[in-house]
Chains A and B, each alone.
Chain A
Amino acid sequence: GEDVEQSLFLSVREGDSSVINCTYTDSSSTYLYWYKQEPGAGLQLLTYIFSNMDMKQDQRLTVLLNKKDKHLSLRIADTQTGDSAIYFCAESLSGGSYIPTFGRGTSLIVHP
């Protein structure tokens, strides 16, 4: 199976919170990342969390890490139409030269 799994689509109303979920398989993952990709563009790192942390907050973004369940989530508060994009979860390992392994991406659609 895939190393990093995430659902493919999420639809929310503008102003609501969005929660994008991700599961990973490698318990030795040391860094977990969230990237954003707008249509026809490259990826942009939104935030990352080190595996000894449970939570990280950065303005409207909150990352929660459940190491026991190997579950990572990204919460976007007060979602705006400009947040519509594909969001990728990724993990990296010290033994893998810290090269991220990416999930398939979750397409977030924000309705006015």
Chain B
Amino acid sequence: DGGITQSPKYLFRKEGQNVTLSCEQNLNHDAMYWYRQDPGQGLRLIYYSQIVNDFQKGDIAEGYSVSREKKESFPLTVTSAQKNPTAFYLCASKQGTGGYNEQFFGPGTRLTVL
């Protein structure tokens, strides 16, 4: 079965700790994305990557970092510099960069910082 996996589904961390969220896809998609979702808010773009070894900042990149060393993997690190990290994080991928290409989403990781 092709798809996007995110792990873990729930993650708890103490304030001040860095944490890395996993995103893996076996769809052979070129582009991958990270979004943050807060209650009553739309999705806000954190980072995206359209090709291996390259990535771009989204609208709310401060306090986050990413890497794209492999086509199938796009991990997101939430650093201690992120002031309000508790949120639902969604990873997505897309075959190409056209508007008609469907963006597929993973099931999400809910991060709670205590």
Q: Which residues on A are within 8 Å of B, measured CB to CB? A: 2, 4, 8, 30-31, 40-45, 48, 50, 88, 92, 94, 97-105
How distant is the Cα of A98 from the Cα of B4 in the complex, in angstroms?
A: 20
Min C-beta distance of A98 to chain B, whole Å? 4
List residues of B whose CB falls within 8 A of some A CB.
4, 33, 40-43, 45, 48, 50, 58, 90, 92, 97-108, 110
Assuming the contacts A48-B100, A98-B101, asked whether A42 and B40 have C-beta atoms less than 8 A apart, the reply is: no
A-B contact pairs, 23 of them (CB 8 A): A4-B42, A31-B100, A41-B107, A41-B108, A42-B90, A42-B105, A43-B90, A45-B102, A45-B103, A48-B99, A48-B100, A88-B42, A94-B99, A97-B48, A99-B45, A99-B58, A100-B103, A102-B43, A103-B42, A104-B40, A104-B41, A104-B42, A105-B40
What residues on B are CB-neighbors of A92 within 8 Å?
A: 99
With a CB–CB cut-off of 8 A, which chain A residues contact B40?
8, 104-105
Known contacts A42-B108, A99-B33, A99-B48: A105-B102 contact under CB 8 Å: no
| CA A100 to CA B104, docked complex, whole Å | 12
Do residues A97 and B103 form an inter-chain contact, with CB atoms below 8 A?
A: no
Q: What are the residues of chain A within 8 A of B43 when measuring CB–CB?
A: 43, 88, 102
Taking CB atoms, residues of chain A closer than 8 Å to B104 are: 45
Which 6 pairs show the lowest CB-CB distances between chains A and B? A42-B105, A31-B99, A102-B42, A98-B99, A102-B43, A43-B105
Contact across chains for B42 and A98 when beta carbons are under 8 A apart = no
Question: Is there contact, CB below 8 Å, between B105 and A97?
Answer: no
* Nearest CB on A from B110, distance (A): 8
Residue among B43, B90, B102, B105 with the most chain A CB within 10 A?
B43
Question: In the complex, A98→B16 CA distance in Å?
Answer: 35
